[in-house]
Structure 1
Amino acid sequence: MAVIIENDKVRAVINEHGAELSSLIAKDTGIDYMWSGDSKYWGRHSPVLFPIEGKLKDDHYFYAGQEYHMTQHGFARDQDFDVIEQKNEHVVFELTENSETKAKYPFDFRLRLTYSLQGRKLTLSYNVYDPSADQDLYFAIGAHPAFKTPLMPSQAYTDYQLEFSPAIKRPRVPLNQSLTDPENETLVDNNHLEVSRDLFKDDALIYNLHKEPTKITLQDKKQQHGVLIDTKDAKYVGIWSTYPKDGQFVCIEPWWGLADKKDADGQLTHKFAINKLAPHEEFNAGFSVTVF
């Protein structure tokens, strides 16, 4: 099932499976800014990453003396969410623990995703709550939206560019076989990037945002159409597309967490960039997408 929210500017379609945004259409132009999800290249649109982001080392971890297996990006993207509130321009999805999640992740949790429209802006808000009376909740959360590149039939993939604001040097986190090496961050001036297939030959570009407000624009070089991603407090952002496959999209991914370090010891409580909630505490974060 899919849920539609809309106003006089845009229309958004979100699937209950994964609470995944699958379509974001500007009504004046008819442009759908979201990737089609063609499985020949990458079969998703905008998966929710929870309770991990990226890979675990050897796809497993340990907690309280037990071993658990979990594949890349966690399980939320493959779960059916409940719709607990819906209005014309606003919808709230909820996921809680079940027998399938408990086999991979031994925690009670409540995850809520809220999609809200205001003009040409779609805001996605995350709320994570620890309902336990006596157990801390360890988790990461983040986004993986894929934006169609190019947006117009007359354009090419390489007609697009990425711009970061503010224009400052940021640490870039290297990847090694999908694991991270944050101790060897390098300070780079990557505020302007030309979109090309080779840009992603070494996997995603990951930047440490230090939870500072950051805006990232993906647009054609004539600055006619594109998207503006605005995050106030993300820890990291990943920029990714397929290589060498010719997937016609670019992902801009605000993250509150990170893949395992290459030397991770596998203990969830030691995991780099993990978030922890005490019983009955909650976590709030989010970002927005403005289309133009």
Structure 2
Amino acid sequence: MVLINEFLQAQLDFRGAELKSLKRIQDGYEYLWNADPQYWAKTSPVLFPIVGALKDDTYFYKGRPYHLPRHGFARDHRFDGKQLSDTEGVFTLQDTEETREAYPFAFQLVLRYELVGHTLRCTYEVNNPSPDQPLFFSIGAHPAFAVHTEGRTLRYEDHYLQFPKDDVLHCHVLEGNLIGSHVNTIKLKGNRLPLTHELFYGDALVMKTLRSREITLGNRANDRGIRFRYENFPFFGIWAAKGADFVCLEPWCGIADAVTHNQQLEEKEGIQCLEAGKTWARRWEVALIN
């Protein structure tokens, strides 16, 4: 599916309802990672019905064990899609016998994409169609934005992330994909985090207390960049594959299990509980600076 307006063109895949490309119409400049399989073959997977890893890939619900891989299964399923206009598309995934083997809940997951001027908006909707049972879930975004090196005249290290409301980042260290007890503190200068490949050698930067709700990806050589905005996602991750020229900006409603977690789904940190017949929604968006 292709969405287009006078400023932007977005390409979307029915598999995982994944954003695959975001280009500027003026010159075809690509703002999304190219999914080079040498590093990471995805571009913007949706994380559902969990974010991060479960302890032993297992959780318990009503006394029974269930197993899910890291980040859940939605990213690997084909969604039903419908293009509503040149600038808007919607994708839907519903529970099946297959999903219920690992996740015993009725659900409807809807992703809506819309181009508005220089901005792409992505809205997550979770519906609980059950007449009497709650729906426990987590959900998160994982868009990977290209960090252009342009023939090595512009280096990865020439780029930065700017956090207008933070001068320090408190990052929870992962232990075997789980949240450990140690927290690293990264002090920012001028609210900026300079990007280096080494930042992500120990996996993602995972934060529970980030205050900024608008993050700028920019560089020191020109005025090209993006502004990434989100609301009401309590957790945030930043990640890149080792040596790859991209950075993922990841707002989450949910988080990996702690190493000390008891694996009970209803007691999982960040778990969302949606009452029968209710709908839940969150949105993130990315705007081009130039």
Tell me if the contact between 2:163 and 2:212 (Cα under 8 Å) persists in the aligned partners: no
**Runs of at least 5 residues in structure 1 that lack an aligned partner in the other structure:** none
| 1:90 and 2:88 are equivalent in the alignment | yes
Specify whether residues 213 and 249 from structure 1 end up closer, same or farther in structure 2 by C-alpha distance, changes over 3 A only.
Answer: closer
Tell me if the contact between 2:21 and 2:31 (Cα under 8 Å) persists in the aligned partners: yes
The offset of 1:170, in angstroms, is 4.9
Tell me if the contact between 1:56 and 1:70 (Cα under 8 Å) persists in the aligned partners: yes
Specify whether residues 252 and 284 from structure 1 end up closer, same or farther in structure 2 by C-alpha distance, changes over 3 A only.
Answer: same
The offset of 1:171, in angstroms, is 3.8
Specify whether residues 213 and 198 from structure 1 end up closer, same or farther in structure 2 by C-alpha distance, changes over 3 A only.
Answer: closer
Distance 1:100 1:93 in 2: 19
**Runs of at least 5 residues in structure 2 that lack an aligned partner in the other structure:** none
Given the alignment, which residue of 255, 266, 283 partners 1:258? 255
The offset of 1:85, in angstroms, is 4.8
Given the alignment, which residue of 14, 17, 25 partners 1:16? 14
Task: Judge which range, 223-232 or 251-260, deviates more.
Answer: 223-232
Counterpart of 1:49 in 2: which secondary structure?
coil
Give TM-score, length-normalised by structure 1: 0.93
Ranges of 4+ aligned residues in structure 1 off by more than 4 Å: 183-188
Distance 1:109 1:38 in 2: 32
Counterpart of 1:247 in 2: which secondary structure?
coil
Tell me if the contact between 1:52 and 1:139 (Cα under 8 Å) persists in the aligned partners: yes
Match of 2:33 in 1: 35
Distance 1:142 1:227 in 2: 20
Match of 1:167 in 2: 166
Tell me if the contact between 2:50 and 2:71 (Cα under 8 Å) persists in the aligned partners: yes
Distance 2:279 2:227 in 1: 28
Q: Deviations over 1:56-103 (max 9, x none)?
A: 011111111211111010000001111145211111111100122111
Tell me if the contact between 1:31 and 1:151 (Cα under 8 Å) persists in the aligned partners: no
Distance 2:83 2:273 in 1: 27
Task: Judge which range, 261-270 or 79-88, deviates more.
Answer: 79-88
Q: Pairwise CA RMSD of aligned residues?
A: 1.7
Counterpart of 1:279 in 2: which secondary structure?
coil
Q: List aligned pairs for 1:190-209, cutoff 5 A.
A: 190=188, 191-209=191-209
Distance 1:172 1:22 in 2: 28
Aligned-pair identity in percent equals 37
Match of 1:158 in 2: 157
Counterpart of 1:165 in 2: which secondary structure?
coil
Amino acid paired to 1:117: L
The offset of 1:213, in angstroms, is 5.6
Match of 2:217 in 1: 218
Q: List aligned pairs for 1:1-292, cutoff 5 A.
A: 3-150=1-148, 152-153=150-151, 154-181=153-180, 185=183, 189-190=187-188, 191-209=191-209, 214-243=213-242, 246-291=243-288, 292=290
Counterpart of 2:276 in 1: which secondary structure?
coil
Amino acid paired to 1:237: F
Give TM-score, length-normalised by structure 2: 0.93
Tell me if the contact between 1:213 and 1:233 (Cα under 8 Å) persists in the aligned partners: no
Tell me if the contact between 1:170 and 1:208 (Cα under 8 Å) persists in the aligned partners: no
The offset of 1:184, in angstroms, is 5.3
